[in-house]
């Protein structure tokens, strides 16, 4: 290979593979070698799926040789968050309780990306069972930020975000329950998308909070994110919450005019952000106004209750979902004198501190005598948030806010302060509760030379306008010139 594909966009790689300028096998091997050489410092990956990747790459090359369509993502390397079931490959959720568990099936999103010609490079690190905002809660390794190895990459999809930011892969998949795609995307200076709830099948996603979880893409740019979402979205009979609706071609929205689109800056979410983050959001809004959008401030008062409602609803659902990990059917099993002791020993050893904290909080919220006071009331607040957004969207097509209230913080800075850690998701949680789409777009660097993300939100199935606005922001955003750690 006379040139390197590292750092190329997904669409560029796919184009070169389709035309034969480079083989999918060469692309895969180059990215695998890069990860092997440098990931010991970053810890983005829990497993490198080299054999799978090379088999998939050879298949793409064979299709091209035979004149067959190799797919939209022909030969494009992709990282997979390790809570997505991969047939015959360890899927741990970064938890000891699932150490070495190998699912007998693939998640639906994986079937779709494989069909599109993408090449699965490996399983990325995460906060255990996706519970965290820094990827420090993994039972195995702590992932670091590619722009500063002393800082976190965000979470819970920190491994996926770090992989893309470090140029290990042009694309990655993550899951977003309260901001777990968008927040690490912001902290790592890349694009991250949480689609409308139900747009992407959750079949094969190991559940955290089923009414909130959604799978979505990480990419270097808005166009690649739109391309990956196009591949993974659509109805799936295996997921009872999957939407059966006609979806637009997201890629066609990138670069489309934004004249006349109404953009609202959410007052409540911008007020609590660091000054440099507020400045970036307002600058992005100015770019939109100069491009023909109608920009104004808007109050969405119920979002201030999002954090409180989320940390009752999500743990309650987690308490139920994680009850299946009992040391009996699969996963870690530690024998006790009877079955009750086996349950206790297995779950005590298998779950980390943050997962235990949330299981206990959720179990309490659902317990007899407290259900109405906590879980029931939180669901009413969720309805308030949905209604508050609905009122805002009567006058605006999309909303803007910070993605995270600050840039990336130092590893260990919030590890002993759960409330401070939870506040990292204060801007992202409301859209999960509403089931709406949202995405983070990088917008320059803060005073500490770390990336800042601007969040673009839209009503349910409003991805078309969301991508149009995101692309307009991206086209005028200050370049992130800081080099990643291995360059």
Judge whether 365 lies within some domain: no
Determine whether 59 is exposed, middle or buried from the number of CB atoms within 10 Å of its CB (0-12, 13-18, 19+): middle
Mean pLDDT of 9-35: 98
Per-residue pLDDT, 331: 87
Question: Which are the contacts of 432, defined by CB distance < 8 A and separation ≥ 6?
Answer: 176, 177, 178, 179, 194, 197, 212, 214, 310
Instruction: Note the helical H segments in 351-417.
Output: 353-366, 377-393
What residues act catalytically? 81, 156, 180
Q: Residue 246: which domain range?
A: 10-307+376-476
Per-residue pLDDT, 305: 97
Judge whether 284 lies within some domain: yes
Judge whether 366 lies within some domain: no
Encode pLDDT of 215-262 as tens digits: 999 999 999 999 999 999 999 999 999 999 999 899 999 999 999 999
3-state secondary structure of 92: coil
Q: Using an 8 Å Cβ cutoff, are 367 and 359 in contact?
A: no
pLDDT of 365 > 80? The answer is yes
Q: What is the CATH number of the domain that holds 170?
A: 3.90.1300.10
Judge whether 171 lies within some domain: yes
Judge whether 81 lies within some domain: yes
Q: How many CA atoms lie within 13 A of 471 on its CB side?
A: 20
pLDDT tier, 270 (very low <50, low <70, confident <90, very high otherwise): very high
Judge whether 428 lies within some domain: yes
Structure tokens at 106: 């693939």
Per-residue pLDDT, 156: 98
Judge whether 319 lies within some domain: no
- Give the CA distances from residue 111 to residues 42, 87, 103, 117, 205, in Å, rounded to whole numbers and listed in that order: 28, 10, 14, 10, 13
Judge whether 362 lies within some domain: no
* CA atoms of 302 and 408, how far apart (whole Å): 27
pLDDT of 450 > 90? The answer is yes
Number of domains in the chain: 1
Q: Using an 8 Å Cβ cutoff, are 388 and 109 in contact?
A: no
pLDDT tier, 343 (very low <50, low <70, confident <90, very high otherwise): confident
Structure tokens at 109: 């999103």
| C-alpha closest to that of 485 among 17, 150, 72 | 150
- Give the CA distances from residue 291 to residues 49, 141, 197, 371, 466, in Å, rounded to whole numbers and listed in that order: 44, 44, 30, 49, 15
Cis amide leading into 69 (omega within 30)? no
Mean pLDDT of 334-350: 90
């Amino acid at each position: 290979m006379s040139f390197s594909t590292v750092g190329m966009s997904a669409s560029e790689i796919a184009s070169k593979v389709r035309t034969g300028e480079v083989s999918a096998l060469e692309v895969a091997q180059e990215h695998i070698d890069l990860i092997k050489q440098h990931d010991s410092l970053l810890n983005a990956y829990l497993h490198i799926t080299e054999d799978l990747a090379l088999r998939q790459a050879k298949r793409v090359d064979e299709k091209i040789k035979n004149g067959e369509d190799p797919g939209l993502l022909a030969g494009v390397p992709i990282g997979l968050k390790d809570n997505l079931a991969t047939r015959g490959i360890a899927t741990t959720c970064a938890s000891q309780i699932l150490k070495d568990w190998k699912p007998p099936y693939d998640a639906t999103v994986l079937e779709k990306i494989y069909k599109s010609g993408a090449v699965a490079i490996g399983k990325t690190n995460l906060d255990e069972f996706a519970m965290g905002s820094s990827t420090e809660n993994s039972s195995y390794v702590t992932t670091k930020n590619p722009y500063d190895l002393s800082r976190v990459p965000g979470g819970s999809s920190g491994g996926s975000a770090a992989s893309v930011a470090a140029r290990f892969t042009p694309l990655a998949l993550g899951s977003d329950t309260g901001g777990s795609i968008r927040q690490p995307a912001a902290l790592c200076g890349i694009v991250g998308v949480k689609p409308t709830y139900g747009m992407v099948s959750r079949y094969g996603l190991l559940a955290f909070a089923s009414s909130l979880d959604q799978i979505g893409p990480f990419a270097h740019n808005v166009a690649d994110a739109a391309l990956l979402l196009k591949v993974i979205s659509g109805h799936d009979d295996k997921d009872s919450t999957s939407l059966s609706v006609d979806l637009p071609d997201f890629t066609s929205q990138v670069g489309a005019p934004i004249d006349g689109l109404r953009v609202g800056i959410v007052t409540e979410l911008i007020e609590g952000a660091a000054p440099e983050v507020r400045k970036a959001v307002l600058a992005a809004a100015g770019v939109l106004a100069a491009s023909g959008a109608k920009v104004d401030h808007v109050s969405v008062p119920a979002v201030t209750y999002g954090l409180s409602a989320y940390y009752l609803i999500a743990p309650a659902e987690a308490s139920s979902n994680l009850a299946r990990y009992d040391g009996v059917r699969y996963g870690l099993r530690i024998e006790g004198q009877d079955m009750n002791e086996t349950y206790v020993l297995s779950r005590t050893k298998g779950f980390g501190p943050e997962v235990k904290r949330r299981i206990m909080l959720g179990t309490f919220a659902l317990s007899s005598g407290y259900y109405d006071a906590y879980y029931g009331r939180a669901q009413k607040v969720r309805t308030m948030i949905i209604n508050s957004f609905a009122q805002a969207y009567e006058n605006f097509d999309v909303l803007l806010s910070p993605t995270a209230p600050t840039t990336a913080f130092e590893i260990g800075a919030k590890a002993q302060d759960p409330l401070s850690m939870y506040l990292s998701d204060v801007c992202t949680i409301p859209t999960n509760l509403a089931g709406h789409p949202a995405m983070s777009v990088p917008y320059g660097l803060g005073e500490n030379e770390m990336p800042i993300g601007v969040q673009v939100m839209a009503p349910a199935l409003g991805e078309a306008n969301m991508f149009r606005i995101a692309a307009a922001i991206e086209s005028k955003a200050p370049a992130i010139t800081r080099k990643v750690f291995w360059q």
